Structure 1
Amino acid sequence: MAALIPQIPRGVRFAEELRLLRADRGVSLKGLAEELGWDASNFGKMESGRTLGSPEVVEALDQFYGTPGLLLALWELAMADPSQFKERYRRYMMLEAEAASLWHYSVTMPPGLLQVPGYVREALVAGGLKGEELEQQVEARIGRQKMLEEEDAPPFRVILFEAVLHNSLCDPREWRTQLEYLVEASERPNITLHVLPFGSGLHGLENTSVMFLRLSDARTVAYAENDVWGELVEETSRVERLHRTFILRMLEEVPCEPST
Structure 2
Amino acid sequence: MPVRRVVTGRSQEPRRRYAEELRRLRTTRGLSLRALADAVGWDPSLLMKLERGETLGSPEVAEALDLYYGMPGLLLAMWEMAVGDLTQFKEQYRRYMRLEAEAVNLWHFGVSTVHGLLQTDDYAREVLTLGGINGKELEQQVEARAGRRQLLEGSGAPPFRSILAEAALSARLPDMRVRREQLEYLLEVSERPNITLQVLPQTTWLHGLVSTDVMFLRMADGTTVAYTENAHRGELIEKKASVEQLQRAYDAMRDQALIPAESRKFILRMLEEVPCEPST
TM bucket normalised to smaller: 0.5 to 0.7
| Contact 2:161 2:197 (8 Å CA) reproduced | yes
Partner residue of 2:134? 130
Matched residue count: 170
Q: Deviations over 1:50-98 (max 9, x none)?
A: xxxxxxxxxxxxxxxxxxxxxxxxxxxxxxxxxxx93331000000000
- Structure-1 separation of matches of 2:155 and 2:118: 17
Partner residue of 1:246? 250
Q: Is the aligned partner of 1:121 residue 2:125?
A: yes
Q: Deviations over 1:101-132 (max 9, x none)?
A: 10000000111100000000011111111111
Q: Is the aligned partner of 1:156 residue 2:160?
A: yes
Which runs of 4 or more aligned residues in structure 1 lie more than 6 Å from their structure 2 counterparts after TM superposition? none
Q: Deviations over 1:31-51 (max 9, x none)?
A: xxxxxxxxxxxxxxxxxxxxx
Partner residue of 1:107? 111
The CA deviation at 1:250 is: 1.4
State the identity %. Answer: 57
Equivalent position amino acid for 1:189 in 2:
P
Q: Which among 194, 214, 229 is matched to residue 210 of structure 1? A: 214
Q: Is the aligned partner of 1:145 residue 2:145?
A: no
- Structure-2 separation of matches of 1:116 and 1:108: 16
Helix, strand or coil at the partner of 2:250: helix
Partner residue of 1:16? none
Segments of structure 1 that go 5 or more residues without pairing to the other structure are: 1-84, 255-260
| Contact 2:207 2:252 (8 Å CA) reproduced | no
- Structure-2 separation of matches of 1:220 and 1:150: 23
Helix, strand or coil at the partner of 2:178: helix
- Structure-2 separation of matches of 1:132 and 1:98: 28
Partner residue of 1:39? none
Q: Is the aligned partner of 1:94 residue 2:98?
A: yes
Q: Is the aligned partner of 1:225 residue 2:229?
A: yes
- Structure-1 separation of matches of 2:241 and 2:198: 26
The CA deviation at 1:186 is: 0.7
- Structure-1 separation of matches of 2:123 and 2:90: 22
Q: Deviations over 1:3-39 (max 9, x none)?
A: xxxxxxxxxxxxxxxxxxxxxxxxxxxxxxxxxxxxx
Partner residue of 2:187? 183
- Structure-2 separation of matches of 1:86 and 1:233: 17
Equivalent position amino acid for 1:209 in 2:
D
Equivalent position amino acid for 2:229 in 1:
E
TM-score, normalisation: structure 2? 0.59
TM-score, normalisation: structure 1? 0.64
The CA deviation at 1:142 is: 1.3
The CA deviation at 1:175 is: 1.0
- Structure-2 separation of matches of 1:168 and 1:115: 15
Helix, strand or coil at the partner of 1:200: coil
Helix, strand or coil at the partner of 1:153: coil
